[in-house]
Amino acid sequence: MQIPEFKPTEFFGVYTDDKNYYTQSLTKRGSVYGEKTYRLPGGIMYRQWDPYRSKLGASLHNGIKYWPFSKDTKVLYLGAASGTTTSHISDICKEGYIFAIEISPRPFVELLRLSSKRPNIFPILADARKITEYLHIVPQVDVVYQDIAQRDQAEIFHKNVNVFLKKGGYGIIMVKARSIDVVKDPEDIFDEVEDYLRDQGYKILQRLKLEPYEKDHAAIIIQK
């Protein structure tokens, strides 16, 4: 098997071979969600970041300008599912923490399994609308990341950013227009979400469409 030449990128903890993006695996075990892996002589393993499976991966391909992740970043992740994107953030923020909230027990079982091999992931089975369920566990964080396809996703995001995000910290919300309104033009919905977040006092830093990886989705990046 030909091993690509992995070069660091401007995004901390992310590598490229000029075609795909990769993270250096925190653990010696192989693939998390079926992604390609490459083990170098010496033991370092690179995991390919699939933009069709991870919206943060898609954001790398589509020109994200703000990358709030570093070695020891504390992240609150809302809607972690089985941990596809969480696993890459866990590779990047090796000495940080990811508090991973998921409401559905089925993917949560997989998330638990993942966290048993990755000490920087704290899985929490909870509804991200009910922050009192994890208020006693989650500290002030550097980043709030949300990928929840719900009609009230902007309100859920605000609720969490308001309580858990440090002043000056960054928030990334993956907006699924069709979950908010199936008939409205997605651009109008992205405008409405931005207006709502601006009204809460956050600075809108970037809006990034996720096509062709995700239809009618945008990543909106804010600063508190």
Task: DSSP letter for 18, please.
Answer: S
Q: Give residues 109-128 in contact with ligand SAM (rule: CB under 6 A).
A: 127-128
Could you give the CA distance from residue 92 to residue 15 in angstroms, rounded to a whole number? Answer: 10
Q: How far is the CB of 11 from ligand SAM (least distance, A)?
A: 17
Q: Which CB, 27 or 39, lies closer to ligand SAM?
A: 27
Determine, following the binding rule CB under 6 A, whether residue 101 of this chain makes contact with ligand SAM.
yes
Determine, following the binding rule CB under 6 A, whether residue 107 of this chain makes contact with ligand SAM.
yes
Which tokens go with 206?
A: 């970037």
Q: Among 92, 93, 21, which residue's Cα sits nearest to residue 57?
A: 21
Could you give the CA distance from residue 108 to residue 132 in angstroms, rounded to a whole number? Answer: 19
Total residues found in the chain within this entry: 224
Q: Among 157, 187, 15, which residue's Cα sits nearest to residue 92?
A: 15
Among 20, 59, 84, 160, binds ligand SAM (CB under 6 A): 84
Rounded to 10 degrees, the C-alpha dihedral 162/165/171/173 comes to -50
Determine, following the binding rule CB under 6 A, whether residue 186 of this chain makes contact with ligand SAM.
no
Determine, following the binding rule CB under 6 A, whether residue 3 of this chain makes contact with ligand SAM.
no
Determine, following the binding rule CB under 6 A, whether residue 48 of this chain makes contact with ligand SAM.
no
From 10-18, 97-105, 133-141, 164-172, span contacting ligand SAM (CB under 6 A): 97-105
Residue 218: exposure state from Cβ atoms within 10 A (0-12, 13-18, ≥19): buried
From 18-26, 72-80, 183-191, 204-212, span contacting ligand SAM (CB under 6 A): 72-80
Q: Residue numbers of the site for ligand SAM (CB under 6 A)?
A: 54-55, 78-81, 84-85, 101-104, 107, 127-129, 147-150
